[in-house]
Structure 1
Amino acid sequence: MAADEARQFAMGRELPVGGEVIGSLHDEVQELAGLYVNRPLPTILGRLIGAQSTILSLLERRQTPNNARELYFLAAVIAGLLANAANDVSRPELAMTHARTAYLWADYTDHDGLRTWIRGLQSFICFWADRPRDALRYAELGAAPASATTGSATAWLFAGQARAWAALGNAGQAKAFLHKAETAQELARPDEVDNIGGLCTFSHPKYLYYAARALAGLPEEFAAAERFSIEAAEAYADPTQPHWDFTCLADSQISLALARASRGELDGVADSLRPVLALPPEHRIHDLVKTMHLVHRKLNSFDTPVSADLQEHIEVFSETSLRQVLG
């Protein structure tokens, strides 16, 4: 508390911004990007808004070119995190507003890795808004900056395209882009965006999760979807690992349920969904609710007490989600 009070005092003074202030803000943004993937949104939302307010207030003052670039870089990252937050509470239109602002600030920094990451973010938002064609369009817009960067955001673009093609029922394209994503992820060399960490990095476990989610939507690929889902869940099993992400873990377990439902294994579906259904409401973000709806529809193929019970639990899960928590 004392450290936070001192930081707020220093940043609130009408003094020239020096390296210590910029460094403190960078540390704050880096910490928030890491916390985003393993803490409930309500616990960090205030800090996200506060960080953005601080950065924008500093940008209203006269800055050196180097300081201005760094501040716009951090502003773009925070806007990206806020775009994710809006998506998590089922507000895709608000998410896109934050993402467009983030891209504008990324242009001010002339940072291709940041541009690529934000195009991936826009593609991500469109995918969860049931707009796979727009998801493909934004990913394609990211191709130009991606060609000029070495970071993992390029792999995110390809993985997003794989999921979009799967949503459109094109298994060939989905698998082709998964291969491109895997190759790009293996060849990636961390850039300034990757060094932020957390939500700004596309790791190998995240590739496994994307592959599972893409293939789980293709009935003929249930065996591969099950394999990737298990590998992804195992990769996210240890919450002490730096890449741990509760959303990716939960969604991988839902993908496993979808794959098992394709094989008619209702007991396997129940086992896969048990840890997801146990998540507290503040963890039940938009992405998880949407994927659970796919399981609900898949269970329409069965007419048993087990399938009916699972559908009732999914309905309760959806009615007590993060969106309801935040009103």
Structure 2
Amino acid sequence: MTPQSGATGESDPTHFGSAVRTLRVGREWSLRDLGERIRFNRGYIGKVEQGDKFPERQFAELADRALDANGFLVAAWRDAAEERRKALATGRLLTASTKDSLNMIAAVEESMDLTDLEQAATQLSIAYLGAAPAPMLRSAVELRGDVLRRLRSRQYRPNELADLYQIAGRLQGILAYAALDLGESAVAMTHADAALVCAENSGDRELRAWARGTQSLIARFDSSYSQALAYVADGLAHSAASASRLRLLCGYAQCKANLGDSAGSNRALDQVQHEREKLIPRASERGIFDFSEAKQHYYAGSSLIWLDEASDADRAAREASEAIRLWENGSEEDRSLDDEALARVYQGTAYLKVGKLDEAAAVVRPVLNLPRERRISWINKRIGRMADMLGAKRFTGTRKADQLRTEIRAFAEVT
């Protein structure tokens, strides 16, 4: 007897444990019954089933034989072990990348000359929009390693100091994004702090404003809205008319919305639109360092969903919808797939706030079908709120609401 999902691909410790439990319960065995057959105590088996413990291969082989799983449990264990190996490798990379960021912050005034890396850094910032974070983390660490080697060996011309700090700062920004998308906000903040140091050493006001905006973004991820506002205020105090200024203003709107200030949030979003109409785009603003019109609408939707008024929810749904439309009809180079998925979550959240269950289910469907490697921390964090909303009194007894809530919970469990 094996489970009917074709799912050894859902390969994490929780899935392996749930597979053991499914087979055990299917035989109407207690934990003690299985324990007696495979010579493991019931407490340990319970922890394996709950995903709190990941066993050695011998456990999977014994359980597979005892439960007549025909190799299913051994395959599920093998896949889960491989996922754990990859996760550990990413964790080690995050640790190593943090160490170098701390070194970057503490570095004395030195110059860099990396003309050959400037294009690679720009291409990486563009590629990030359509890639999973872990490969981007690896690529950014490799590029930054070249920067640091050149610094230490002083392979640069004195007049190229600013340019090299600018390249280093952009690589730090990419590392900050990757770490945050992997759910590591403390690591992300270290990288963002290093990006700020590089921006100040390069004299690049635009990059400095971007770094402050990223620090604010990380603080908002951690729900530290007062700190996020402080980062925005400093960024705006030193920014000129630029895409990063628009991003800071949208960050201000998000903070105000999360603090319950509807009027303040809407005014900030209206100001962004007014300033965009006068903005002259810069060639350096590409990839994650750009703040496109689609991103502006995305930020608006992600802000207003935190407010209680139906008018705010209606505007949030419109803003998120416009972001999706612009990304779907724009160039592939500028299309941010992660943000596009999140815009669907924000639109679905807005629909639920006004009781539009069918519309919410339809718009979030592509998100629920995302492959595992595209389920970044932001998506898992925000879609969980939809599941909570579906448990509200207004949806009680609604079969479609129950089904959607179950799907979202399952999505979160394997992310």
Calculate the TM-score normalised by the size of structure 1. 0.87
Equivalent residue in structure 2 for 1:92, among 175, 180, 185: 185
Question: Which one is further off, 307-316 or 244-253?
Answer: 307-316
Question: Which one is further off, 239-248 or 256-265?
Answer: 239-248
Equivalent residue in structure 1 for 2:376, among 251, 272, 285: 285
- Work out the CA distance in 1 between the residues paired with 2:345 and 2:389: 12
Please give the residue correspondences for 1:262-301 in structure 2 after superposition, counting only pairs within 5 Å: 262-301=353-392
- Work out the CA distance in 2 between the residues paired with 1:259 and 1:204: 20
Name the SS of the counterpart of 2:238 in structure 1. Answer: helix
Unaligned runs of 5+ in 1: 1-18, 322-327
Which residue identity is paired with 2:356? E
Q: CA deviation at 1:193?
A: 4.0
Which residue identity is paired with 2:165? Y
Name the SS of the counterpart of 2:183 in structure 1. Answer: coil
Question: Which one is further off, 216-225 or 276-285?
Answer: 216-225
- Work out the CA distance in 2 between the residues paired with 1:192 and 1:71: 17
> Per-residue displacement from partner, 1:260-317 (whole Å, max 9, x unpaired)?
1122121111101100111111111111112112212211212222222222222222
Q: Which has the larger radius of gyration?
A: 2
Question: How many pairs were matched up?
Answer: 298
Q: CA deviation at 1:207?
A: 0.5
- Work out the CA distance in 1 between the residues paired with 2:181 and 2:166: 23
Q: Is the 8 A contact 1:116 1:154 kept in 2?
A: yes
Please give the residue correspondences for 1:30-41 in structure 2 after superposition, counting only pairs within 5 Å: 30-41=122-133
- Work out the CA distance in 2 between the residues paired with 1:106 and 1:250: 31
Equivalent position of 1:168 in the other structure: 259
Q: Is the 8 A contact 1:86 1:92 kept in 2?
A: yes
Equivalent residue in structure 1 for 2:234, among 129, 141, 148: 141
Equivalent position of 2:225 in the other structure: 132
CA 1:202–1:252: 2 relative to 1, 3 Å: same
Q: Is the 8 A contact 2:200 2:208 kept in 1?
A: yes
Which residue identity is paired with 1:152? A
Equivalent residue in structure 1 for 2:273, among 182, 193, 198: 182
- Work out the CA distance in 1 between the residues paired with 2:168 and 2:319: 35
Q: CA deviation at 1:239?
A: 6.7
Equivalent residue in structure 2 for 1:156, among 247, 257, 260: 247
> Per-residue displacement from partner, 1:196-220 (whole Å, max 9, x unpaired)?
x110000111101111111122231
Name the SS of the counterpart of 1:37 in structure 2. Answer: helix
Q: CA deviation at 1:168?
A: 1.1
Equivalent position of 1:225 in the other structure: 316
Which residue identity is paired with 2:141? I
- Work out the CA distance in 2 between the residues paired with 1:316 and 1:73: 43
- Work out the CA distance in 2 between the residues paired with 1:70 and 1:55: 12
Q: Is the 8 A contact 2:134 2:178 kept in 1?
A: no
Name the SS of the counterpart of 1:187 in structure 2. Answer: coil
- Work out the CA distance in 2 between the residues paired with 1:279 and 1:202: 25
Q: CA deviation at 1:240?
A: 3.8
Equivalent residue in structure 2 for 1:111, among 188, 204, 208: 204
Please give the residue correspondences for 1:178-327 in structure 2 after superposition, counting only pairs within 5 Å: 178-191=269-282, 193-194=284-285, 197-220=286-309, 221-238=312-329, 240-301=331-392, 302-303=395-396, 304-321=398-415
Which residue identity is paired with 1:207? Q
Equivalent position of 1:10 in the other structure: none
1:80 aligned onto 2:169: no
Q: CA deviation at 1:105?
A: 1.1
- Work out the CA distance in 2 between the residues paired with 1:181 and 1:247: 22
- Work out the CA distance in 2 between the residues paired with 1:306 and 1:95: 38
- Work out the CA distance in 1 between the residues paired with 2:245 and 2:212: 10
- Work out the CA distance in 1 between the residues paired with 2:213 and 2:275: 14
CA 1:65–1:151: 2 relative to 1, 3 Å: farther
> Per-residue displacement from partner, 1:186-244 (whole Å, max 9, x unpaired)?
322234641xx110000111101111111122231111112112111111114744321
Equivalent residue in structure 2 for 1:53, among 145, 159, 163: 145
Name the SS of the counterpart of 1:217 in structure 2. Answer: coil
Name the SS of the counterpart of 1:237 in structure 2. Answer: helix
- Work out the CA distance in 1 between the residues paired with 2:329 and 2:158: 42
Calculate the TM-score normalised by the size of structure 2. 0.69
Unaligned runs of 5+ in 2: 1-111
- Work out the CA distance in 2 between the residues paired with 1:136 and 1:265: 32
